[in-house]
Structure 1
Amino acid sequence: MDKGASAKLLLLLWATCYGHATADHLSGYTSVIEVANGGPWGDWAWPEMCPDGFFASGFSLKVEPPQGIPGDDTALNGIRLHCSRGNAELNTQVVESQSGRWGAWSEPQWCPGGGFLVAFSLRVEAPMAPGDNTAANNLRFRCSDGTELEGPGLAWGDFGEWSKACPKGVCGLQTKVERPRGLRDDTALNDVRFFCCRS
């Protein structure tokens, strides 16, 4: 089963557990966009979708700053989509899938001129053994007008290839997060996928 099909299956199972209203809400997406360089740790959390008729026009990140030696770095911990309809400043909803516990949220970055997010690239540090693994470090989005927005994440690792583009914009997300491991090495957010709006 390919990743897109498994994402749809997860959404279907989640919607079935949480009732018909949610299932109807989740039917508003057409496809899933992903990248191939996500970190290997953690589990996929619940999906979160923009309200019907809203598109993701901005984002913010939860980032833990460098912890120094002998600290345990986790870097990128969470992603929020800022979904808007019409005037973004007056009519905005924020959606967030699971996030790690460390770090602080950045101020939102917005696509210019009422544009919306259509594609993304993830900065990931390759696994190190032994070493202090951080997995996902930062995120870039491409807007519908071609503008690229880079989050305020950390510089470890490399940005991978861009995802495919959502023809009508992004309207939901699902994160892969490693739970806190006590005295062992933590990585927090490892990977993310986004859902493309139907209309």
Structure 2
Amino acid sequence: MHQFISVTFSLLVITGLRVSVQAGETRPERSISRHYISELTVTNGGRWGSWGHKEMCPTGTYAAGFSLKVDSAPYAQTNDITALNGIRLHCIDNYRRSLNQYHEYSTVRSEVGSWGRWTDIKWCPSGFLRGFALLVEKPQNTGDNKAANNIAFVCSGGAVLIGSGTNWGEYGAWSKTCEGKGICGIKTRIEEPQGSGDDTALNDVTMFCCS
């Protein structure tokens, strides 16, 4: 794990361009029927909640960037921080990717939690997202459970992008790497609001790969 942290932080200098979530964002285009060749999962996802719908990038596009919905200070609920609430994939085609043209892209996501604010987009400096690792806090016997806190992606060219999530917990092992061109879809596991109980929001995620 210490090796993972040292590698990822040493690569922060090449973690890609940041673009405002509002700037140039287009209407999400859902495509649940697109053919995919494999699924990417991790073993350390949280245990609470249920799986949402699968949402795929439009045909011919792949995820080259991502943004997160994060519940953290100073905006978090009092004494009940839910940390990571949502993940958006930002999809472009190979031609625009090769020209680093980010102004025309599609945004897809699965279910999201009820709290937090969206971060800026982080883009791969080249290529597409091809694998991920999840930062998860283990269940707490007492206190505030947060489940998933952050996510990291590896791009086609080897660059590692660290999300702007929170820091509780530990990163688990990396998922497998896409055999095709890159990640093209997402499905998330979300715990619904618990009322007077402890909330955790996003617990786990599955990514889909397309050729």
TM range, normalised to the smaller chain? 0.7 to 0.9
* 1:147 and 2:154 correspond: no
Q: What is residue 135 of structure 2 aligned with on the other side?
A: 123
Deviation of residue 70 (structure 1)? Answer: 5.3
Tell me the CA shift for residue 26 of structure 1.
2.6
Residues 82-91 or 42-51, more deviating: 82-91
Aligned residue number for residue 3 of structure 1:
none
Would you say 1:71 and 2:79 are equivalent positions?
A: yes
Letter in 2 for 1:48: E
Deviating runs (4+, > 6 A) in structure 1?
Answer: none
In the TM superposition, what whole-angstrom CA distance separates every residue of 1:120-154 from its partner, at most 9, and x where no partner exists? Answer: 00000000112210000000000000000000100
Partner of 1:30: 37
Partner of 1:102: 115
| Cα root mean square deviation, aligned | 1.5
Change (3 A) 1:145 1:186: same
1:11 aligned partner? none
Specify the code of the residue in structure 1 equivalent to 2:173: E
Higher mean C-alpha displacement, 58-67 vs 166-175:
58-67
1:38 alignment partner, SS class:
coil
| CA distance in structure 2 between the aligned counterparts of 1:142 and 1:112, rounded to whole angstroms | 11
Give runs of aligned pairs for residues 1-199 of structure 1, distance below 5 A.
Answer: 25-27=33-35, 29-66=36-73, 71-85=79-93, 86-87=95-96, 88-113=101-126, 115-167=127-179, 168-198=181-211
Gaps of 5+ in 1: 1-21
- After superposition, the C-alpha distances for 1:85-114 in whole angstroms (9 at most, x for unaligned) are 13242320000100001000001000013x
**Residue 70 to residue 107, structure 1, CA distance change in 2 (3 Å):** closer
Choose between structure 1 and 2: higher helix proportion: 1
Normalised by the size of structure 1, how large is the TM-score?
Answer: 0.84
Contact 1:66/1:75 (<8 A) preserved: no
Q: CA separation of 1:187/1:110 partners in 2, compared to 1, >3 Å: closer, same or farther?
A: same
Unaligned runs of 5+ in 2: 1-30
The answer to whether the 8 Å contact 2:67/2:119 transfers is: yes
State the identity as a percent.
51
